[in-house]
Structure 1
Amino acid sequence: LEEGIVPGGGVALLNAVSSVKLDTYEGDERTGAAIIVRALEEALRQLAYNAGLEGSVIVDQVRRAKKGQGLNVDTGEIEDLVAKGIIDPTMVTRSALQNAASIAKNILTTEAIVAEAPEKAGAGGGMPDMGGMGGMM
């Protein structure tokens, strides 16, 4: 792999949180930095939720775990993900983060966004007629 590998399962993104120094910002900049922190945690939080676990609890556990450890969704345990083969290519993780930042920047600097309105789902079909004995009335 061109740029190497990082632990999978959102651990590399969670490790990047330490690069965001919230205490160096004030006001709107601090709010923006807090949003970035939350976004970096979200991959792990969503994996935990999909596994039937509480995402915020898992994020906290992984933060306190040894470097390279994360949630193995198959076992529900915090484990060394690289040793278990749960890895991501560094280039893919880096590109995803760069693209997300680029999209966020475009949204923030755009005065209007055009999107499709979500379709409202109609009521589900009812139970079919149960048959019965016609003409009994």
Structure 2
Amino acid sequence: MADLTSGSGLKSAALLEQMRLHMETDAGKELTKKVGLVYQLNISPKKIGQNEEIYVVDLKKGEVTKGPYEGRPDVTFSFVDSDFLAVGTGKLNPQMAFLRGAMKIKGSITAAQKFTPDIFPKPSKL
């Protein structure tokens, strides 16, 4: 599988690449068993909905891919690159991001609540 950072102008791509590699570890496999949901992430460089790059964090299959999900993801999140990075690294609480309009959610709110910084590997260096 191709490195998720190639051809991407997003800083978030590095975090998603770390997560893709993390899925292959025992901890990643455990996460797949525990969460079992599919998240689509629409990440824009500066403004939600513009020039988006789309990634899928599939916690049913245990993989992270670039491009839209075929079928219906449990939840689709829309972020600006810097806000996604802040949520993914635990610097911004997902609920606060939603309340401030920094994150838009489409789909199951219950599934969305399981999308927390805990699902991301601890960053080695971004």
Q: Does the TM-score normalized on the shorter chain lie above 0.5? A: no
* TM-score, normalisation: structure 1: 0.25
* TM-score, normalisation: structure 2: 0.26
- Structure having the higher strand fraction is 2
- Structure having the higher helix fraction is 1
Higher relative contact order (CA 8 A, sep 6+): 1
